[in-house]
């Protein structure tokens, strides 16, 4: 085991898969000589050359189309979005091409494509750089969506995403790159469609993902001191949602809180509630509590930005309210 930062875990995953498979390559803005905005591709261009770590123009729609075309021909592109918000410029390519071509070609083409990069609310990045696009992409058929939350799962999930024959949108949170954790030295892969049971409990199920996992775990320290016993699930897979693991937890707890950084309207929590109502409504002893960000553009002002997000004290209050 070696303790590394999350950006290093992602770099190691990319390096290891590029070393194994010459069809894997990286493209995006400043991924080459600069090493990526958050240093996920640092020094890779020196090892693999400019054609396998390809600096692109500032033209998301163009290089996304190029990556999808490369995937059709048998390559395995990894597209780094300098900020995931910018990928809205490539929405047509991602939805109409990446998500649909395997189906509309009658299975003649595979699309082994990874689209990864930083997203989420940072520290005063402004509205256009603070978007959470998971809900935008959730409705697109043919995509897999993953949100890493620790160096360990970031590395294992990215390696699996690179080997997958389907397009994977891989969300990294901009404030988690400097998170440090022990990571195995040996090769390992994690499933793209499974959640992680972070903590077993008996009183209430708290479902979360990405940076909010850490807010939840901060809240859990206080809750456990107060005698509560919450069960914590990190979704990881946002599409497909591992609804069976949530149902298995509800058999024990009969209560559900969902904590997300996504917006409340049409967010990931909204989809989970719909699926729980469809499949596990009879297990619920109380209405589901949804803790989501405010439905407004994220303010630049630091205090206003903070007010749009969910914080540990709100999670603690919700558990107290639900159980009492």
Q: Kindly tell me if the per-residue pLDDT of 277 is higher than 90.
A: yes
Marked catalytic residue, from 12, 29, 80, 129 = 129
pLDDT band at 278 (very low <50, low <70, confident <90, very high): very high
Cα separation of 77 and 232, whole Å? 34
Asked whether the predicted pLDDT for residue 301 surpasses 90, the reply is yes
Res. 162: pLDDT tops 90? yes
Q: Cβ of 27: how many Cβ atoms within 10 Å?
A: 22
Q: What is the pLDDT of residue 239?
A: 97
pLDDT at 177: 96
Residue 183 has pLDDT above 90, yes or no: yes
Where b means 16+ CB within 10 Å and e means fewer, 292-303 reads bbeeeebbeeee
CA distances for 110 relative to 142, 236, 239, angstroms? 11, 24, 18
Q: Please state the pTM of the whole predicted model.
A: 0.96
Which domains does the chain carry?
Answer: 2-183 (3.40.50.970), 196-323 (3.40.50.920)
Q: What is the pLDDT of residues 95-148, one digit of tens each?
A: 999 999 999 999 999 999 999 999 999 999 999 899 899 999 999 999 999 999
SS3 155: helix
217: tokens are: 């775990």
Among residues 12, 17, 29, 60, the one annotated as catalytic is: 60
Does the active-site annotation cover 271? no
Q: For residue range 192-229, what is the model confidence (pLDDT) as tens digits?
A: 999 999 999 999 999 999 999 999 999 999 999 999 99
Tell me what percent of the residues of the chain surpass a pLDDT of 70: 100
Average pLDDT, the chain: 96
In the residue annotation, 129 being an active-site residue is answered as yes
> Would you call 144 helix, strand, or coil by DSSP?
strand
HSE-up (13 A, CA, CB side) for residue 9: 29
**Predicted confidence (pLDDT) per residue in 238-263, tens digit:** 999 999 999 999 999 999 999 999 99
58: left (phi over 0), alpha (psi -120 to 50) or beta: beta
pLDDT tier for residue 170 given thresholds of 50, 70 and 90: very high
Q: Where are the alpha helices (DSSP H) in 53-211?
A: 60-72, 91-92, 101-104, 134-138, 151-163
- Residue 25's pLDDT is what? 98
Query: Is 324's pLDDT higher than 90?
Result: no
Q: For 230-298, give the DSSP string.
A: EEEEE--EEETB-HHHHHHHHHHH--EEEEEEEESTT-HHHHHHHHHHHHHGGG-SSPPEEEEE-SSPP
């Amino acid at each position: 085991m070696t303790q590394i930062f999350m950006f290093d875990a992602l770099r190691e995953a990319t390096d290891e898969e590029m070393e194994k498979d010459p069809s894997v390559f990286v493209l995006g803005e400043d991924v080459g000589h600069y090493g990526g905005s958050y240093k996920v591709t640092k020094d890779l261009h020196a090892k693999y050359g400019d054609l396998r770590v390809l600096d692109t123009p500032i033209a998301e729609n163009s290089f996304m189309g190029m990556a999808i075309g490369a995937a059709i021909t048998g390559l395995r592109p990894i597209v780094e979005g300098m900020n995931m918000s910018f990928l809205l410029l490539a929405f047509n390519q991602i939805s109409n091409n990446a998500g649909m071509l395997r189906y509309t070609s009658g299975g003649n083409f595979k699309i082994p494509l990874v689209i990864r990069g930083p997203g989420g609310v940072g520290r005063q990045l402004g509205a256009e750089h603070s978007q959470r696009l998971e809900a935008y992409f959730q409705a697109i058929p043919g995509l897999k969506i993953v949100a890493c939350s620790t160096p360990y799962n970031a590395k294992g999930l990215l390696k699996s995403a690179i080997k997958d024959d389907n397009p994977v949108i891989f969300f990294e949170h901009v404030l988690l790159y400097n998170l440090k954790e022990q990571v195995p030295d040996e090769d390992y892969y994690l499933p793209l469609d499974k959640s992680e049971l972070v903590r077993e409990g008996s009183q209430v199920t708290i479902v979360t993902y990405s940076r909010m996992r850490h807010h939840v775990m901060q809240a859990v320290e206080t809750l456990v001191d107060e005698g509560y016993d919450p069960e914590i699930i990190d979704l990881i897979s946002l599409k497909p949602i591992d609804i069976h693991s949530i149902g298995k937890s509800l058999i024990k707890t009969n209560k559900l809180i969902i904590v997300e950084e996504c917006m409340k309207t049409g967010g990931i929590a909204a989809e989970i509630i719909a699926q729980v109502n469809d499949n596990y409504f009879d297990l619920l002893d109380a209405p589901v509590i949804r803790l989501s960000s405010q439905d407004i553009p994220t303010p630049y002002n630091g205090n206003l930005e903070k007010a749009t997000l969910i914080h540990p004290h709100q999670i603690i209050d919700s558990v107290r309210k639900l159980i009492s």
